[in-house]
Structure 1
Amino acid sequence: MKFWIYPLMVVFAASSYGTLSTMVKLAIQDGYTASEAVSSQYIVGFILAFILYLITQRKLPRLYGGFKIILLAGVFTATTGIVYGVSLIYLPASLAVVMLFQFTWIGTLIDCIIRKRLPSRAETISLVILFVGTILAAGVLDVDLSGIDWRGWVYGFAAAVSFSLNMNVNTKQVEGMNTTTRLLFVSFIAALMIGLFQNPEIIWNGKLFTESLLFYGLALGLLGIIVPIYFFVIAVPKVGGAVSSILSAMELPVAVIVSVIVLSETLSILQVVGIVIILLGMCIPTYADIRKNKKLKVNT
């Protein structure tokens, strides 16, 4: 498979995450809580992963090794959703997004620490551009920062750290385990975490199986569990944690565009400029990697 396919997979996975905030808002408009929507996402996501496993594998799943990696992937997948949801209680949505998007530089920092290296020039330039683009695209310049509860900053930053750690865990492959099996185990652990901290009672009180919440669960489970985990597991080990964190910035432009189309939210000129800047910032490290791979092929 050509190298450029893997960055596209990361972008596609991040784009699927970008649709989630709009779907959660739609669920809230239909009378459900954000916690119920998130719970349906992880529970139905696991059910979908189980069905996919039965169709493609047709055997009992076994965890031969790599339990620590799978456990951490499941835990960080769940905690990102949980902590980000809490941050929305204390922060305006635009500011919560900006806090979450600190994962771009946090993910690069973690990758540099693990690999004992300094950020490349392309990564550094990209991060600066992404920071400017994120501020503009999220519309945070219009937000009044006075009187914001300190817990909002803490939970928002914690969500960014959790997402960064999850991205880093996805760089590690488990020998002898295919993508579908890993998806099953990760989604199962994430669903257990959600069961501990969110609303598992939507299962036994039958609320999950009402037509509208089940619809949201299917959409959220597919785009928030199946698609991103599947593509991240395949692509992140090839692309690397630092570049994957940068490419995942695609989530914000998609979130803004989907909210404009579906929720009829307004889009300012500054936000459009911010989206263009983010897209530019994402291209820099990918282009540098593609050039590097071409040079390696020529030399070999």
Structure 2
Amino acid sequence: MVFAGACCFGILSTFVKVAYQEGYATGDISGSQACLGMCVLWLLYILTRKREGAPGPVWPVLLAGTSIGLCTHLYYLSVKWIPASVAIIFLMQFTWISMLLEWAFFRKRPTTLQLAAMLLIMAGTVMASGVADARGTLPIKGILLAMASAAVYGIYVVASGRVGNTLPALKKSALMMTGSTIIIFIIARPHFLFDGQLSMGLAKWALFLAFFGTIIPPLLFAAGIPKTGVVLGAILMTAELPVAVVTAHLVLKENMSLLQWAGVSVMLFAMVMGQKRSKE
């Protein structure tokens, strides 16, 4: 479930680039995606609701949801400045960020192999981003936005595995998307609700991005991460990387050098190494 959710996330940045080419603003893209996803998840929950025990507090789940909303908005902003195939490489830094957060706040020290995987991911990032390549010149604004989205994504991974686990998966996902929608509306102030953009073409992007980015992955993560654990869950979620790179190459015709492909390979090797250790 975690792996499938990551693959869904992997295609998003490419099609956000296409939406940019049609003239839509970041706030309207991320805001419409979050809002539509929230509405669908609440509808699914209401239609399938069964009798529940004593409900736990919902505010931690709402708060955790703001992290995925902030991550989405920052990530979509970053692909305005850097290629989608490069933005995903910086986003993948959430893997070691989530491990460090677990270590700092919950005293779960990474194993030696997991620490080695962190270093390999960092080394692979330098190679895969194009910074180490002679032709690699990336806008610092795009890099900082992508790294900020990775930091917030790391917070989401840790929080998702620790809050709201007694709630039904649909309710947890709906609450998280409510928090996501609230934070995007606050920071981005989208205009699609008032200027008729939904009827002028934004609706198709809202539907597509909401399905693959807001509805399906949170349901899969909410059900899967508590069973895999945070570390294995974070490693499995790096499947987003090859999916995003290949999609950007096929749809946007973004080319990558041999050094960049080698960097991607190093990062994927680190993922497999960390997954093996987690299983043991």
TM range (shorter): 0.7 to 0.9
Q: Do the aligned residues in 1 keep the contact of 2:10 with 2:244 (CA within 8 Å)? A: yes
Q: 1:75 aligns with which of 56, 66, 83?
A: 66
CA–CA separation in structure 2 for the residues paired with 1:34 and 1:199? 10
Query: How far off is 1:247 after superposition?
Result: 2.6
Deviation at 1:287, TM superposition (A): 1.8
The structural deviation recorded for 1:159 is 1.8
- Verify: 1:250 aligned to 2:202, yes or no: no
What residue in structure 2 maps to residue 116 of structure 1? 107
Select which of 228, 233, 242 maps to 2:217.
228
Counterpart pick for 1:143 among 136, 139, 143: 136
Please report how far the alpha carbon of residue 217 of structure 1 lies from its aligned counterpart in structure 2 after TM superposition: 0.7
Structure 2 CA distance for aligned equivalents of residues 38 and 62 of structure 1: 34
Contact 2:62 2:178 in 1 (8 A): no
Provide the C-alpha distance between the structure 1 equivalents of 2:251 and 2:79, rounded to a whole number of angstroms.
20
Partner of 1:6: none
The alignment yields a C-alpha RMSD, in angstroms, of 2.7
Q: State how 1:154-173 maps to structure 2 within 5 Å.
A: 154-173=144-163
1:25 aligns with 2:17: yes
Deviations along 1:196-242, one digit per CA (max 9) or x if unpaired, are 222432023221233x3111111111111112211111122222223
Tell me how far 1:180 sits from its aligned partner.
Answer: 0.5
TM-superposed CA distance for 1:122, in Å, is 2.2
Label 1:56 to 1:251 Cα distance change in 2 as closer, same or farther (>3 A): same
In the superposition, the TM-score normalised over structure 1's length comes to 0.81
Measured at CA, do residues 94 and 66 of structure 1 come closer, stay the same or move farther in structure 2, by a change above 3 Å? Answer: same
Cα distance in 2 between the residues matched to 1:40 and 1:108: 32
Radius of gyration: which is bigger? Answer: 1
Could you tell me which runs of 5 or more consecutive residues in structure 2 were left unpaired when the two chains were aligned: none
The residue identity in structure 2 corresponding to 1:40 is: S
SS in 1 for 2:30: helix
How many positions carry a matched residue from both structures? Answer: 278
CA distance, structure 2, for counterparts of residue 62 and residue 69 of structure 1: 18
In structure 1, runs of 5+ residues without a counterpart are 1-8, 293-300
The 2-side partners of 1:278 and 1:68 are apart by 35
